[in-house]
Amino acid sequence: MSYQVLARKWRPKSFDDLVGQSHVVRALSNALDRDQLHHAYLFTGTRGVGKTTLARILAKALNCEEGVSSRPCGVCSACREIDGGRFVDLIEVDAASRTKVDQTRELLDNVPYAPARARYKVYLIDEVHMFSNHSFNALLKTLEEPPPHVKFLLATTDPQKVPVTVLSRCLQLNLRRLLPEEIRARLQHVLEAEGLAFQASALPLLARGADGSMRDGLSLLDQAIAFGGGRVEEAGVRTMLGTLPGDLTLDLLDALAAGDGARVLAEVERVASLTPDFEELLRELIALLHRLALLQQVPATLAPDDPDAARLTALAARLPAEDLQLYYQVALTGQGDLPLAPDPRAGFEMVLLRALAFRPAAGRDAPSRTSAPQPSVPMQTPAGDAARLPESGGGASGSPVSMLRPVPDQPIQGSGVAEPASAARVPALAVASAQPIALSTHADWLRLVDCLDLGGIASQIAHHCDLKGWEDGRLLLGLDPAAEHLRSPGAESRLHAALEKTMGTAVKLDIQVARPQRETLAQRRERETGERRQAAVSAMEEDPVARAMQDELDASWIAGSIEPTD
């Protein structure tokens, strides 16, 4: 018999076998056992998390000869034929290969007819977002008035492209990305069941490489078995994935923690001799910093049998928490900068040197700090009451990098007194004598934002806020969590100054991260842009010349390629 890949051989056959989707399994099990079945289900989630597998199990539960239940028998002819992919009343369709409306209509022509031998005729449409608008319209009519003997199971990795008219007629179930530990445990179970030798330290590498997808994890395991000649070993897996031994990453971080630039570059040189993938190396460094942060705050997260336990514990005790948070932020930001560097190694070196450059100078070797660190360069601080440094590198008001940004040693204009930039505080900005602006409604806030003489990140912060309150000189704003990354002391200081100038009064600005209860300016502009884009798409679909061109060339519009001209 030909070899069957692990991803197919170990595909779950029942709800109990499915890993990491207990919230979806519970909803479906209760619906099956209580006979409260919807006529259309939409399964969403990233690749390889079990969307089509779940749909096939649901098809078995609906058509098992033992009756409808959350535990299909798995041995009757219906269950075995569904597992084998030859059940006549389970119609599986790949929407990517059936984008034309005629093909969709042909598919749906048989919907009114009763199933050949099953209880329900089940349509499983994978990657349904690939349907054209005309195909969705054809499907919509059937979803509105489905026959009682038909169930639709739709799956997609991109639910944003599914029209809301279709979404509203489906019961949507969102499958989550799997955790590395869940994938690791499944890989271990498969290896033990297959009777293959393996090193436990190799499995976390495969689990992280799977990136939340169980199918990708099993495919990588197949590759590792072939690479190791029937054995799964850490060294072989690292070579296969292009990752470095863990001790090299630890040595690199140890040099970084010591603040020794020459040693950092020497470690990079040693790593470079192994021709690594520097983007992957940076991801490993970020993962290591995350482990250290967990160890500092919750020591129980370190497994007793972790081979690096001693070194991790020593590093966690030696590296101040604020430095660790700074390194994490710099490395995280550096991921976006790495592709722009002249070469990957140079970009990686600059990320590490940037972390050293912005590291606070005082108390580097202290395991903890009880007061704010003294910078080795002049500091830019917010104006007024906010003109003091936070007590840690990762405060809520902005990223450590922006808080430690060097500024020119020049006077700052305030209330008529010039002080050097390195002073402990900056004078409050003079309040302009402009006519005070009423601020009692959210509409007033939107008009105020339009009046602000502001640009850049500070303006973006204002555009993503809604008004929470304005009383006794205190302006309370709610910042959309999606824009929290914009926060920095400098940007908020500029926003504060612009508000005081425009409103003509002293303002105590308080920005809290909270989901907006009303539409912000940024959300309004995004909505209006979407409406214009949809209007352009509709105009193209209704244009007789464009439709004739589609028919003549048997073509379809590329999703997202139509833009309004205004």
**Are residues 70 and 28 in contact, defined by beta-carbon separation less than 8 angstroms?**
yes
Strand runs labelled E in 323-399:
none
**Are residues 497 and 504 in contact, defined by beta-carbon separation less than 8 angstroms?**
no
Q: Which of 145, 142, 107, 109 is nearest to 125 (CA)?
A: 107
B/e letters for 214-252, b = 16+ CB within 10 Å, e = fewer, are bbbbbbbbbebbebbeeebbbebbbebbebbebebbbbb
Task: Using alpha carbons, list the distances in angstroms from residue 529 to 194, 197, 557.
Answer: 54, 56, 19
Helices 214-227 and 203-210, axial angle in degrees (round to 10) = 140
**CA 172 to CA 24: how far, in whole Å?**
10
**CA 487 to CA 282: how far, in whole Å?**
24
Going 481 to 482 to 484 to 490, the CA torsion angle's sign is: negative
**CA 51 to CA 127: how far, in whole Å?**
10
Q: Which of 319, 321, 318 is nearest to 297 (CA)?
A: 321
Q: Which of 352, 364, 338 is nearest to 261 (CA)?
A: 352
Under CATH, what is the fold of the domain 442-518?
GMP Synthetase; Chain A, domain 3 (3.30.300)
Same fold across 6-174 and 442-518:
no
Q: What per-residue confidence (pLDDT) applies to 243?
A: 66
Q: Which of 392, 387, 259, 375 is nearest to 329 (CA)?
A: 392
Would you give the distance in Å from CA 84 to the centre of its chain?
35
Q: Which amino acid is at 471?
A: E
**Are residues 81 and 87 in contact, defined by beta-carbon separation less than 8 angstroms?**
yes
**CA 47 to CA 49: how far, in whole Å?**
6
**CA 322 to CA 393: how far, in whole Å?**
5
Q: Which of 508, 438, 448, 442 is nearest to 473 (CA)?
A: 508
Domain ranges of the chain: 6-174, 180-241, 246-357, 442-518, 527-553
Residues ≥6 apart with Cβ < 8 Å to 96: 127, 130
Q: What per-residue confidence (pLDDT) applies to 245?
A: 64
pTM above 0.75, yes or no: no
Q: Which of 21, 2, 11 is nearest to 219 (CA)?
A: 11
**CA 555 to CA 87: how far, in whole Å?**
33
Task: Using alpha carbons, list the distances in angstroms from residue 181 to 11, 35, 53, 282, 425.
Answer: 18, 35, 21, 21, 48
Strand runs labelled E in 219-310:
231-232
Task: Give the helix ranges, DSSP H, for 340-467.
Answer: 344-357, 400-403, 442-451, 456-463
Helices 51-63 and 22-33, axial angle in degrees (round to 10) = 20
Helices 203-210 and 180-194, axial angle in degrees (round to 10) = 130
Quote the longest CA-to-CA distance of the chain: 89
B/e letters for 524-560, b = 16+ CB within 10 Å, e = fewer, are eeeeeeeeeeeeebeeeeeeeeeeeebeeeeeeeeee
β-bridge mates for residue 122, sequence order: 90, 151
**CA 285 to CA 333: how far, in whole Å?**
13
Architecture of domain 6-174: 3-Layer(aba) Sandwich (3.40)
Identify the burial level of 187 via C-beta atoms within 10 angstroms of its C-beta, where 0-12 means exposed, 13-18 middle and 19 or more buried: buried
Which phi and psi (to 5°) does residue 556 adopt? -140, 155
**Are residues 171 and 38 in contact, defined by beta-carbon separation less than 8 angstroms?**
yes
**CA 77 to CA 80: how far, in whole Å?**
5
β-bridge mates for residue 232, sequence order: 198
- Top CATH class of 246-357 equals mainly alpha
Strand runs labelled E in 295-375:
none
Which phi and psi (to 5°) does residue 486 adopt? -75, -15
Domain 180-241 has CATH 3.40.50.720: no
Per-residue pLDDT of the chain (566 residues; tens, 9 = 90+): 578 899 899 999 999 889 989 999 999 999 999 888 999 999 999 999 999 999 999 999 999 999 898 999 989 999 999 988 899 999 998 888 777 778 888 888 888 888 888 899 999 999 999 888 888 888 888 888 888 999 999 999 999 999 999 999 999 999 999 988 899 999 999 999 999 999 888 898 898 888 889 999 999 999 999 998 989 998 888 878 766 666 788 888 888 888 888 999 998 888 888 767 888 889 889 988 998 999 898 888 887 666 677 888 888 888 888 889 999 999 999 999 888 988 899 999 999 999 988 886 544 443 433 333 333 333 333 333 333 333 333 333 343 333 333 333 333 333 333 333 333 333 333 343 344 556 888 888 998 998 888 888 889 999 999 999 998 889 999 999 988 888 888 889 889 999 988 888 899 999 999 888 888 988 988 888 888 888 888 888 888 888 888 777 777 777 667 777 76
Count the neighbouring beta carbons within 10 Å of the beta carbon of residue 336.
Answer: 8
